[in-house]
A and B are shown apart, each in its own frame.
Chain A
Amino acid sequence: MTIASSSPPTRRPRAREDGGDGRLAAVFIAPALLGFLVFLLWPTLRGIYLSFTRFNLLTPAKWVGLDNYDRMVHDPIFWSSLKVTVEYVLINIGIQTVTALAVAVLLQRLTQSALLRGIVLTPYLMSNVVAGIVWLWILDTQLGIGNEIIGGLGFDHIPFLADKTWAIPTIALINVWRHVGYTALLLFAGLQAIPGDMYEAAKVDGASEWRMFWRITMPLLRPVLAVVLIMTVIGSFQVFDTVAVTTAGGPANATNVLQYYIYGSAFGRFQFGYASAMSVALLIVLSAITFLQYRLTRAGQTDLG
C-alpha cells in the first residue's frame, strides 16, 4: 500500500516542442478570463476609484477624497439600511437553510423520485420579479386573495408588505419560497456523495434516523453545507428585485435594503460616487463574512476518507 502510493511516476510526460497544450488552454481560458477582467475586475477597480469622487455619470468625475465615506458614516439611512439587510439575511438564510436541509434529507432518505425533485425546484424557475409581483397581488392588504382567505377565516387582514413590522419577514419568506428548492437540490447533491454503507452500518448497530442525521449526515455534509451557506448568504445580502417590485423600500425606509439604497442613490439621484462608496462597504462586509464563514465551517476540508 505505502509502496504503491509513494512510488514515483514511471515517466514524466516530455514537454512537446510545439509548446504543448498551453496555447490551446489559453484559448479555452480566454473567454472566461476576458469576462472576469471586463465584467468583474475592471468594474470593481473603477467602482473603488469612483467611491472617492463626486460623479453623476454624465459629467467627469471630481476627486473628493474621503468625503463619501465621511457622509456614509454619518448617514442614518445607510445604517438603517444595513440593519434592515442583516435582519433580512438572518430570517431568509435561517429559515431557508433549515427547510432546504429538511427537504434534502427527506428526498434522500424517503424517495428517489425525480418528479418530486422537479416539483421542489419549480418556484426557482420563475424570475424574482414575477414571483415578487405575484406575491404582491396575493398579499395585498385590501384585495389580495391571501388576505381574502384570512378574512374569510374570521381574522383581520394582515398588511404583509405595507406594514413596517411585517414587510421584511414577508419579503424574506417570499425569497425562501423561491430559493428553497434550489438550495435543497444543492444539499441533496451533497448527500448523494455520502456512502450508503455508512447508513447501513449504523442501522446494523441500531441507530435511529435522528441519530444518523446528527452523527453521519451533518458531519459529512458540512463542507457542502458551508459552501451553500456562503453562496446563499452572499446572494441574500444582495437582495434587490423582490424589494423593488413589492415595497420600493417603504413604508418609511422599513425595507430600504442596502442594495436598494445603493441603486436609488445611483440611478435615482445620480450620486454615483456615494453609491460606489456604499458598494465598497458592502464588498468589505461580504468579504469579511465569507472569510469568517470559510474559517469557522472549515469549508475546504472534508471528514470523508
Chain B
Amino acid sequence: MARFLIKRLFSATLTLFAVSVLTFLMFFALPRDPVTGMCPKNCNPERLERVRDELGLNDPLVAQYAGYMKGIVTGRDLGSAQGGHCDAPCLGWSYVTNEAVSDTIARVLPVTLSIVIPAAVLWLLLGVGLGMISALRRGTWLDRLAIGFSLTGASLQLYFVGAVLLIVFVYNLRLLPVPSYTSIFDNPVKWASGLVLAWVSLAFLFSAIYARLSRAQMLETLSEDFVRTARAKGLAKPKVYGRHALRAAITPVVTIAGLDVGGALGGTVITETTFGIQGLGRTAVDAVRSGDLPTIMATVLIAAVFVVLANVLVDLLYAAIDPRVRLR
C-alpha cells in the first residue's frame, strides 16, 4: 500500500513536471514577444525593456523555469513594479490585471469549486441511482424512460441546454436572477440561486452518461456467479444488490468520475461562458486572449494538478471499493 502510494505519487510528480515544462516551452516558442501583450499598444521601448528585464525574459530559459518553480515552493522577490516580495505559492505577477496571479486564482478558484462540487454530487447521485434502478427493473417502462433520458442527454450540448434554461427560468418566468457568483459565506441563498442553473445543466448532461454506464455495468455484474451465490445462500436482495453487486459495478464509474471531476475543477470554460460567471475557466480564456503569460501558466498548472490528483485518488478508491483489487 505504502509502496504503491509512493510509486503513484512519483509518477504523478513526473507528469506534472512534464506538463509544466511543456506549457513553459509552448509559450516561449511564441514568435510574438510575450511582453507586447502585457502593456498597452502605445508602450514606449524603455518601458518594454524594463518589463522584459523584470520578468527575467533576458535570462536563459532554464534559469527562468527554475525561478518560476522556486517561487511556487518558497516564494521569491519580484521587481518593485510587480508588487515586491511574493509569498510562498508565488505564481508571478500579471501586468494585465495588475495583481499577483495567486490573488487572481484565490478569487476565481472558489467560483469554479462552487460550480463543480454541487454539480458533481448531483450528477453522481442522479446518474448512478438511475442506472441502478433501470438495471434492476430491466425491460420495464422505467428502464425505457431512463434509456431515453440518457440517450437524449448524451447528445445535448451544454451551451444549448444552458441557453434554453436561461430563456425559460430567467428571462420568461423570472423565477431566478441572472446567474452570478456570491460567496456561500456571505449569503448562501444567493449563492445557490445564482448557480443553480449551472448545476442543473451540468448535472443533466453528465448524469445521462453516468446512468448509461452504471446500467451497463450493473447488468453485467448481476449476471455474475458471485451474485447468484450470494442470493443462493439466502442473503436478502437489498444486501446483495446494495453491497455486493454495487461495489463491483461501480469501479468503472469511479474511474470516469475521477477524470470528469478532475477535469471540471480545472475550469468549466463552457459552463462559465454560457452563464457569464467568471471562474477559473473564463480566467484562462481571458488570459489567453490578452496574452497574459503568468496567468495562463498558472491556470494550466492548476488544471493539471487537479487531473493528476484525481487520478491518484481514483486508484486509492479502487482498493477501498473493490475487495478484489490489490495495490502493488
Q: Do A and B bind each other?
A: no
